Amino acid sequence: MTAVSADVELAGASATVPRAAAHISTLTRRGGGYWMLMHPLGDPDDLDALYRVVFGGPEQATLPRDAPVTPAEVARALVAVHGAETELGRLHWGTRFSDATRQVTDYRHGRILVAGDAAHIHLPVGGQGLNLGVQDAMNLGWKLAAQVRGDAPSDLLDGYHAERHPVAARVLALTRAQSVLMSPPPGADDVRALRDIIVDLARLPDANRYLAGMMSGLDLRYDLDDPDPLVGARMVDLSLQTASGPTTVAALLRSGRGLLLELGSPPMRPGDVRIHPRVDHVIAGVIDSPVGNALGAAPGVDRVLVRPDGYVCWAGAGPAASPESALHRWFGASVPVSASAAAR
């Protein structure tokens, strides 16, 4: 499948041209063998209002990927979908994209690391590509920094491929499935039947939550060899009260350092654990949580170690639980907690 994405001004608009931003399903229209998603980018009453059009049809199916997008091609698509009154004024830019679905087999080749669309491409259905690439970069950045500084545990950088490759593979599988369901091949009654069943399933709250978690990436849980459901999952953005005032987990993570968060009492005493200088040790009370119980964790969990990319790499319940081995695994050589506190 090959399609065009372009920004245009219109010289005339029929009644079917969308006048306001709305849900994607109401902005999409078919006609003359084309499909077109049309999205007003400004106030449509302005003379030079911009629209983003994304479309595909029989002409795009035959054109090579690198053929320039011409005003005549865009004008034909506009008329086919929105009628002869819909006239192209000006084409600002246009580009082609496709459903090519590929992933590199190894995210690391010695000193070369790949992330984002350099590592994986897919049909942009569901708007997942940018998030996937940003999360690659978040996962890689702190590991690369530790490697460059020389304090990375030996296998930290290789964990980048191990953690991120399966995530993109899953997105690629999801976009492939969405692509078939969105555009069943002509005469594919079996695919249409399957789509009806998926539509019914998506109306069930649990199934809906499952699909939303998958498409947003929020259900992601890295396999960090720990059965605790919190370990490997994204840390929830708690609102916290600390000795230095109110804050949030997201604000604490802006330092780019690890975070050992203690929510219970009694807190770890100096000497109980050894903390790497790249980890902030924060004792806090929870003011508010976006999930039901404070952490969305098993009852009793009151200590978490969060990596700089925002994922939990250790969870403990009670003062006896020690994060020492997790600190060593993720942040390398350690120093006494009292020295770390003094350094701050």
Ligand X SMILES: Cc1cc2nc3c(=O)[nH]c(=O)nc-3n(C[C@H](O)[C@H](O)[C@H](O)COP(=O)(O)OP(=O)(O)OC[C@H]3O[C@@H](n4cnc5c(N)ncnc54)[C@H](O)[C@@H]3O)c2cc1C
For binding to ligand X (CB under 6 A), which residues are involved?
5, 54, 97, 116-117, 124, 127-131, 133
> Residue 63 CB, nearest distance to ligand X (Å)?
16
Among residues 97 and 210, whose Cβ is nearest to ligand X? 97
Among residues 124 and 336, whose Cβ is nearest to ligand X? 124
Say if residues 170 and 179 touch (Cβ distance below 8 Å).
Answer: no
Measuring CA to CA, which residue among 239, 209, 235 is closest to residue 222?
A: 235
> Residue 100 CB, nearest distance to ligand X (Å)?
11
> Residue 129 CB, nearest distance to ligand X (Å)?
3
Measuring CA to CA, which residue among 252, 318, 240 is closest to residue 281?
A: 252
In whole angstroms, what is the distance from residue 129 CA to residue 127 CA?
Answer: 6
Render the burial of 178-201: b for 16+ CB within 10 Å, e for the rest.
bbeeebeeeeeeeeeeeeeeeeee
> Residue 216 CB, nearest distance to ligand X (Å)?
10
Among residues 89 and 116, whose Cβ is nearest to ligand X? 116
In whole angstroms, what is the distance from residue 303 CA to residue 324 CA?
Answer: 12
Beta bridge partners of 97: 3
Among residues 54 and 313, whose Cβ is nearest to ligand X? 54
Which residue has the closest beta carbon to ligand X? Answer: 116
**Beta carbons within 10 angstroms of residue 326's beta carbon:** 22
> Residue 93 CB, nearest distance to ligand X (Å)?
12
